[in-house]
Amino acid sequence: MPRRLVWAITGAGDLLEECFDQMTVIKDQGEWEITAVLSKAAITVLKFYKMNDRLEEIAQRVMKEKDANTPFIVAGLQTKKYHAVLAAPLTANSTAKIVLGISDTLVTNLVAQANKAAVPIYTLPVDQKPGMITTIMPSGGELNLTMRPVDLKNAESLGRMPGIRVLNSPEQIPLVLDLQGNAQKGESRVK
């Protein structure tokens, strides 16, 4: 029986395609049933990047934010219907809110509730490397962005929160989910 994953997507365009590539790998392995949860900003960003059809191919279920508790995914987290949460890509705004304990969006609320219920949480904040990054816009053009010290600090703080693991790249997604699944089966590939 597949394990159940909540894939929370925020309004970050940076690393979006790379996260979708890795989630396609996860889907193709067939070990995880994926429920995608979209923030209001993610709904807009996915439309701009023309990723909705691809999301429908990856996720068995797509939930779109109406408010911080609708659709009601929290019960599934609290009752362990879901085995893990992946928030990727995670905007600087959502990262800051999680660090400060603000749960006023569907994504920040589900992370808070998953944390309270001891559901493993994996995050991929987009703003965690100092200096300038180059990201791809919906048009295909490049955009250079300079990371703010406050956003870097929040990403570091997020990684120090109990029950939350910060990933450094989208390529880590299949690795941590594979380890998570094996740990639930009583196995471990870590030596």
Can you tell me the distance from the alpha carbon of 25 to that of 20, in angstroms, rounded to the nearest whole number?
A: 9
Please tell me what DSSP assigns to residue 67: B
Which residue ranges make up each domain of the chain? 3-184
Q: In 3D, which of 173, 191, 190 has the Cα closest to residue 84? A: 173
Please report the DSSP string for 162-189 in residue order: TTEEE-SSTTHHHHHHHHHHHHHTT---
Can you tell me the distance from the alpha carbon of 45 to that of 9, in angstroms, rounded to the nearest whole number?
A: 10
pLDDT tens for the chain, 191 residues: list them.
789 999 999 999 999 999 999 999 999 999 999 999 999 999 999 999 999 999 999 999 999 999 999 999 999 999 999 999 999 999 999 999 999 999 999 999 999 999 999 999 999 999 999 999 999 888 889 999 999 999 999 999 999 999 999 999 999 999 999 876 665 543 333 22
Residue 182 confidence (pLDDT): 61
Residue 126 neighbours by CB under 8 Å, 6+ apart: 12, 14, 15, 89, 90, 91, 92
What is residue 36's three-state secondary structure?
strand
Architecture of the CATH domain 3-184? 3-Layer(aba) Sandwich (3.40)
